Chains A and B, each alone.
Chain A
Amino acid sequence: MSWKKKNSACSLIPAVRGQYHRPNFQTLASFAVADDNFLYGVLLLVDKKRRKLDTATLKLIKLACLMLAGTIRQALRHDETKKRIAELSGLYEIGMATSATMELDALLERILSTAAKVINARGAILRIIDEQTGMPRVASEYGEVSETSACLLTSNLETAVVSGELPFVATTLPDHQGHLHSYLGVPLNFKGHLKGMLCVFDKMSETLEFQEFDAENRQLLFTMAGMISSSIENALTFRELETLAEKNERMVRVLTVLQEISWALMTTVRMEKILDIILNALTLESGLAYDRAVVLLVNEDRHVLKAVKGVFRKPSPPTLPLREALMVPVEVRTESEIEKLLSQLQITLQEDKGILARTVLQKKTFHIAQAEQDARVNQELRRAYDLQEFVSVPLIVKDQVTGVIVVDNQQSKRAIRDEDVQILNMFANQAVLAIENSRLYSTIEANNRELSLIRERMLESDRLAALSGLAQGMAHEIRNPLTSIGGFARRISKKVGKNSPLRHDVEVITQEVERLEKLLREVLDFSGVNLGYYEEHDLNQIIEDALTLIKRDLVASNIKVAKDFALLPNVHCDDRQIKQVFYNLFQNARQAMDKGGTLTIRTYPMEKSDGLYAAAAVSDTGGGIPLELLHNIFNPFFTTKEFGTGLGLSIAERIVSRHYGQIEIINELGKGVTFIVTLPIAKYCLIKSTEDQEAQT
């Protein structure tokens, strides 16, 4: 309105002004250009001559003034309407923008560009602040905004939001380094709460000059802020919902995977299979998809954590559903250096031994983002296994850590999210139950085995006791008549002459009686072994004693004896029984070498997986045992000898096994046989019997 008036005045006044100094007119008429409400201006009529305006002219001029006022009013209204239409169309565009999309980024871009365009600003900024963190939750910009300007605006906004003050309409900028000329900000209220601001900056004229923001701009921006805040809120909510839905979808997928894994774990109680399923689940593409996974178990006795099995990621078999893929046995490829190292991985359970030890001791999951920079990580292990980001999850059952699962993405470098760690924990809970089940099952199995072993031994000793009772009864009944039959036969044999035809017959009686008496001795000695009396003894001495018993027989059979005795720790045994073992072995060797030979006896200490043993090797040069007979030699009453009872080796074997020892046989056809007797040395033997007792209870 004002500039229109100015323009019309400008065209007139200079001409008038120039003549004020020398007034050359005689007549001046002034008329108000006005309507009922408003004075628009004044109409001056000038004449050089002196004249008087008649009534008709005056009327005409007044009418013209009235019409002029009407025209001016129309023009002003037109301008006003044009502006309003521009504003309305701006608001319309904002309205269109707000309903155009639910996608937050696109929405904000449209809103900001429209706002800037409507107000003729160079650009616009929008910030929404998270009340809890005080940080911008949403930040969107349009037009060229320098970083310092954006920071300045943001910090102004944060102050305003945090202090709860209504923001600012600043038309001059406090800091001119920001390259902003002016800006206009209005609050964004969500549900009555101040949450952020909408800001436009640098209003430009059509000729690209900076202009100040005016009250109308401010009003317009307020209106816009009101319009957009709800749609922004909707879009925000929509985005959050979408994120939630995505998260839910991921969760559902993970739960499905976990369910499949759980199903697979329930199909078996075999530790080996369970470990395979766990490692498959961790590394399969359709499972949890880690690059590498290792299971370590705690050994309570030795306070160490030991790697049991590890695997590198492999692509899922394409046609196999997860459920079946989980069951495929894991083959540990040992060609890889790292996997070779894994088999030796053993960690002492102390806090300073690294993350894995801590996982056990603190019963806590560790997510290490940068192994190299983490002082808690065992750097030696890190180098050996090329660890970067990894997670170490404890397997906890009944508040006890039984093991640890370690996973990483060494090759793909895929980041591990907090959510993944949560899932790992859930998985670990399932895995540990399966492992525990398997452990319980194998304990039960071991106990069962132990029980049936004990039962077998009890049955055996029952049998032996029965045999013993029977044998003792028989001994008295049979030995007496045998003694007299044999005794009288010998008497007859002495009385008949050397050439008597009776002599041969009587000798048969004598021999047969001798055979029966020998059988009796062996049977009685066999049953007698029940009377065990265990003490610590020197195996070398026992062997010497046994050798003394048979020395005469050996000399008679032309058998040389070669001894090679090592110094041995004592064995825990019944020396009479062990003497019997070696006596029987020597007898056996003597009979194998009926045409003479060498009996070699060598003793030496021997380390087995379960402890230290004393070993004695008894070798003959009797040509060995024919293969078809080999499997029978420890069976009672099996004999190849004319005068054998077949009990010798069987007795030896039983005695040795009752001492927790073993008899091995090395048969070299054409050369001879070596029997190797191993007996646990005293210390380990005690441990064994304690273990037995524990297993029983």
Chain B
Amino acid sequence: MKKILVADDEMSIRLLYSEELKDEGYEVLTAADGREALDIVEKNPLDLVILDIKMPEMSGIEVLRQIKEKNPNLPVLLSSAYSEYKQDFGTWASEEYLVKSSDLEDLKAAVKRHLQD
């Protein structure tokens, strides 16, 4: 079973993403801030990470940088409420930049795409 980490400071988002991804048949871990996310990445073998950008303790961008330093092959998706950062970070290190939307089809499609590789 593929293992996915969802890092977001919003509890409702963590809940939504993990419920939805579990329904798709994945194992989901969650983190409420950037530091916790890095801890989990270090301690667990993961198949994919979904990162919010604006988080307490450590921003998603910093988490992304450190993950890619140690595990350059671990796919990371950025998921943010900020559409305007897409221009800056859309092609930077992360596999994809997704603007948050209640329609999770795009997100699920992206997860599926990167776990197949």
Question: In the bound complex, do residue B13 and residue A483 qualify as a contact, i.e. CB atoms below 8 Å apart?
Answer: yes
Give the chain B neighbours of A484 by CB distance below 8 A.
10, 12-13, 15-16, 102
Q: A484-B10, A484-B12, A484-B13 are in contact. Are A517 and B84 (CB under 8 A)?
A: no
Q: With the chains together, A485 CA to B10 CA distance in Å? A: 12
- A524 beta carbon closer than 8 Å to chain B: yes
Give the chain B neighbours of A528 by CB distance below 8 A.
83-84
B26 → chain A closest CB, angstroms = 16
Question: In the bound complex, do residue A490 and residue B102 qualify as a contact, i.e. CB atoms below 8 Å apart?
Answer: yes
Q: Which of B10, B16, B54, B101 contacts A488 (CB 8 A)?
A: B16
B55 → chain A closest CB, angstroms = 11
Question: In the bound complex, do residue A483 and residue B102 qualify as a contact, i.e. CB atoms below 8 Å apart?
Answer: yes
- Considering only CB atoms and an 8 Å cut-off, how many residues of chain A contact the other chain? 24
Q: A476-B54, A491-B20 are in contact. Are A482 and B83 (CB under 8 A)?
A: no
Question: In the bound complex, do residue B84 and residue A513 qualify as a contact, i.e. CB atoms below 8 Å apart?
Answer: no
Give the chain B neighbours of A513 by CB distance below 8 A.
102
Cβ-closest chain A residue relative to B104: A487
- A514 beta carbon closer than 8 Å to chain B: yes
- B95 beta carbon closer than 8 Å to chain A: no
Cβ-closest chain B residue relative to A516: B102
Question: In the bound complex, do residue A479 and residue B84 qualify as a contact, i.e. CB atoms below 8 Å apart?
Answer: no
- A521 beta carbon closer than 8 Å to chain B: yes
Chain B residues 59 to 117 lying within 8 A of chain A, measured CB to CB, are 81-84, 99-104
- B42 beta carbon closer than 8 Å to chain A: no
Interface 0/1 of A524-557, CB less than 8 Å to B: 1100100000000000000000000000000000
Range class of the B interface residue count: 10 to 19
Q: With the chains together, A35 CA to B84 CA distance in Å? A: 153
Question: In the bound complex, do residue A480 and residue B102 qualify as a contact, i.e. CB atoms below 8 Å apart?
Answer: no
Give the chain A neighbours of B104 by CB distance below 8 A.
487, 490
- A570 beta carbon closer than 8 Å to chain B: no
Q: With the chains together, A663 CA to B102 CA distance in Å? A: 36
Q: With the chains together, A475 CA to B100 CA distance in Å? A: 10
Give the chain A neighbours of B54 by CB distance below 8 A.
476
Chain B residues 13 to 54 lying within 8 A of chain A, measured CB to CB, are 13, 15-16, 19-20, 54
Q: With the chains together, A475 CA to B83 CA distance in Å? A: 9
A255 → chain B closest CB, angstroms = 74
Give the chain A neighbours of B83 by CB distance below 8 A.
475, 521, 524-525, 528
Give the chain B neighbours of A616 by CB distance below 8 A.
none
Question: In the bound complex, do residue B13 and residue A517 qualify as a contact, i.e. CB atoms below 8 Å apart?
Answer: no
Q: A480-B13, A483-B16, A484-B10 are in contact. Are A472 and B102 (CB under 8 A)?
A: no
Question: In the bound complex, do residue A479 and residue B100 qualify as a contact, i.e. CB atoms below 8 Å apart?
Answer: yes
Give the chain B neighbours of A483 by CB distance below 8 A.
13, 16, 81, 100-102
Question: In the bound complex, do residue B103 and residue A486 qualify as a contact, i.e. CB atoms below 8 Å apart?
Answer: yes
Q: With the chains together, A491 CA to B19 CA distance in Å? A: 9
Question: In the bound complex, do residue A480 and residue B81 qualify as a contact, i.e. CB atoms below 8 Å apart?
Answer: yes
A422 → chain B closest CB, angstroms = 74
Give the chain A neighbours of B82 by CB distance below 8 A.
472, 475-476
Q: Which of A476, A485, A521, A524 contacts B102 (CB 8 A)?
A: A485
- A510 beta carbon closer than 8 Å to chain B: yes
Cβ-closest chain B residue relative to A510: B102
Q: With the chains together, A475 CA to B86 CA distance in Å? A: 14
Q: With the chains together, A490 CA to B107 CA distance in Å? A: 14
Q: With the chains together, A504 CA to B83 CA distance in Å? A: 31
Give the chain A neighbours of B99 by CB distance below 8 A.
479
Give the chain B neighbours of A487 by CB distance below 8 A.
16, 20, 102, 104
- A592 beta carbon closer than 8 Å to chain B: no
Give the chain B neighbours of A514 by CB distance below 8 A.
102-103
Q: With the chains together, A528 CA to B99 CA distance in Å? A: 15
Question: In the bound complex, do residue A517 and residue B101 qualify as a contact, i.e. CB atoms below 8 Å apart?
Answer: yes
- A489 beta carbon closer than 8 Å to chain B: yes
- A611 beta carbon closer than 8 Å to chain B: no
- A164 beta carbon closer than 8 Å to chain B: no
Question: In the bound complex, do residue B81 and residue A475 qualify as a contact, i.e. CB atoms below 8 Å apart?
Answer: yes
A329 → chain B closest CB, angstroms = 58
Give the chain B neighbours of A475 by CB distance below 8 A.
81-83
Q: With the chains together, A371 CA to B105 CA distance in Å? A: 89
Q: With the chains together, A406 CA to B39 CA distance in Å? A: 93
Cβ-closest chain B residue relative to A485: B102
Give the chain B neighbours of A317 by CB distance below 8 A.
none
Q: With the chains together, A481 CA to B9 CA distance in Å? A: 12
Give the chain A neighbours of B10 by CB distance below 8 A.
480-481, 484
Give the chain A neighbours of B13 by CB distance below 8 A.
480, 483-484
Q: With the chains together, A517 CA to B81 CA distance in Å? A: 11
Give the chain A neighbours of B16 by CB distance below 8 A.
483-484, 487-488, 491
Q: With the chains together, A514 CA to B54 CA distance in Å? A: 23
Residue in A484, A489, A517 with the greatest tally of chain B CB atoms within 10 Å:
A484
A299 → chain B closest CB, angstroms = 47
Give the chain A neighbours of B101 by CB distance below 8 A.
483, 486, 517
Q: With the chains together, A487 CA to B106 CA distance in Å? A: 12
Chain A residues 476 to 520 lying within 8 A of chain B, measured CB to CB, are 476, 479-491, 510, 513-514, 517
Q: With the chains together, A572 CA to B19 CA distance in Å? A: 49
Question: In the bound complex, do residue B12 and residue A482 qualify as a contact, i.e. CB atoms below 8 Å apart?
Answer: no
Cβ-closest chain B residue relative to A468: B84
Q: With the chains together, A472 CA to B84 CA distance in Å? A: 9
Give the chain A neighbours of B20 by CB distance below 8 A.
487, 491
Give the chain B neighbours of A491 by CB distance below 8 A.
16, 19-20
A320 → chain B closest CB, angstroms = 70
Q: A472-B84, A480-B81, A524-B83 are in contact. Are A489 and B102 (CB under 8 A)?
A: yes
Give the chain A neighbours of B102 by CB distance below 8 A.
482-487, 489-490, 510, 513-514, 517
A residues with a Cβ closer than 8 A to B are: 472, 475-476, 479-491, 510, 513-514, 517, 521, 524-525, 528
Known: A481-B12, A483-B102, A484-B102. 7 other contacts (CB 8 A): A472-B84, A475-B82, A479-B100, A480-B81, A484-B10, A485-B102, A487-B20
Can you spell out 12 A-B residue pairs with CB atoms less than 8 angstroms apart? A475-B82, A476-B81, A480-B10, A480-B100, A483-B81, A483-B101, A484-B102, A487-B20, A488-B12, A490-B102, A491-B16, A491-B19
A-B pairs, top 8 by smallest CB distance, nearest first, are: A486-B102, A484-B12, A479-B81, A487-B16, A476-B81, A483-B100, A480-B10, A484-B16
